[in-house]
Amino acid sequence: MSLSDHPRAYGTVALTVAFIAGVIVTLGFKDIYPELESRYERRKKRSRRGSILFGPVSLEDREESARSSYDRGSSIIDGIEGTIGNTPLIKIRSLSEATGCTILAKAEFLNGAGGSPKDRVALNMIQVAEEQGLLSPGRGDTIYEGTVGSTGISLAVLARARGYNAHICMPDDMAVEKSDLLHHLGATVERVPVAPITDPGHFVNLARARAKAHTAAPDTPSRGFFADQFESLANYTAHMKTTGPEIFEQTDGGQLDAFIAGAGTGGTIAGVAKYLKEEAGLTALRVVLADPQGSGLYNKIRHGVMYSATEREGTRRRQQVDTMVEGIGINRITENFEAGRGLIDDAVRVTDEQASHMARWLVEHDGIFIGSSSAVNCVAAVVTALKLPKGSRVVTILCDSGTRHLSKFWKHIAAMGLEDETAEHSDDLLAVLGIPKPQR
């Protein structure tokens, strides 16, 4: 006879089964409750922090939020602009081991448009110009810029993507692969003789004049837009809106002790410093300028003067900055640098020799192939870390790949014999860089 023939017995069995299932579920929930509670508390803290920094927290679409996570490969991205930002923060193991600190690097060379932090800047400058009516897609407008390479490359990529032309003026002593790349990206490229900023033929002044002449031409409705990366505040605000918040999030809510970056236009160091110190409230954070030899910014931060008597105009190999390093180093104060100058605590001067040794060291020990400005940043990060207590966390920027520096910077490294397999290579980083061991 089946249980269905005896309703009372069937009910008793059902209740017993339900009771046992309830006990099992309760015990399971007891085991996972601490983790759920912990997650809830962490989420509450993040929400509270967001309310302080950005105002009331609004409801958001969870699916859209997931698309903006650091995993850019989790969904379809609409256009090349979607590959800009959310770059990884990587630990450089060899530098961390050598200094006793955790040295982290924002891998900006993985930006997907032009492969540098200038992708962020170029996109923001274009968007601001569109909002102001200075650029209009499909009208034949041309973006003009004076650049040593990276900003021009980013502008050339984004100009094509958004319906514009690009006209780039650059010094003729820059690595030739940069102008070759610009040409292949469809930009008009003018390599001009190196000249001081007071000369109308200076690459920045020339780009400004070209844009003005384009707009004034009576035979076309199109306009010329001078991007003006050195003075446009859309430069530093791009980093204040994106790079700074990303670093804050990637360091567990601002768990870092120092931020190191070089300055060409000054946008990166100013924007990140303003976000981390002013918006995120990390007032104890040390912001350190990484400056190549021949640049005046080191002296400006350290001593309040732009250059020493031995570095005045006309005494250097080249009139812009006496270094083989490209992308950072300058002998004037730009609007972007001025925006964050008061937040910079210290400066480290890096020689060409140190930058060359660092670049080769990172290839040999970490498999990281970088350009000259990134090498300067890494040397300065090491110097800064050695002044901090052991276990401190230091963040710097890897600006671009070494593939843009083959004909100049990496050619010099080869000439130094650093790529010779038969040469002796020290495993003591501080000895290689000529940095004395610290007395902590």
C-alpha–C-alpha distance, residues 432 and 96, integer Å: 16
Half-sphere exposure of 191 (CA within 13 A, CB side): 12
Lookup: tokens for 105: 């690097």
Instruction: Look up tokens 């400005």; give the residue.
Output: 373
Kindly tell me the burial class for residue 356, based on how many C-beta atoms sit within 10 Å of its own C-beta (0-12, 13-18, 19 or more).
buried
C-alpha–C-alpha distance, residues 115 and 310, integer Å: 36
Coil, strand or helix at 429 = helix
Q: What is the largest CA-CA distance in the chain?
A: 110
Which positions are catalytic?
118
Cβ pair 185, 160 in contact under 8 A: yes
Phi, then psi, of 163 in degrees rounded to 5: 90, 30
Half-sphere exposure of 119 (CA within 13 A, CB side): 25
Tell me which residue of 363, 374, 361, 364 sits closest to 400, measured CA to CA. 374
Phi, then psi, of 352 in degrees rounded to 5: -60, -40
Coil, strand or helix at 382 = helix
Coil, strand or helix at 110 = helix
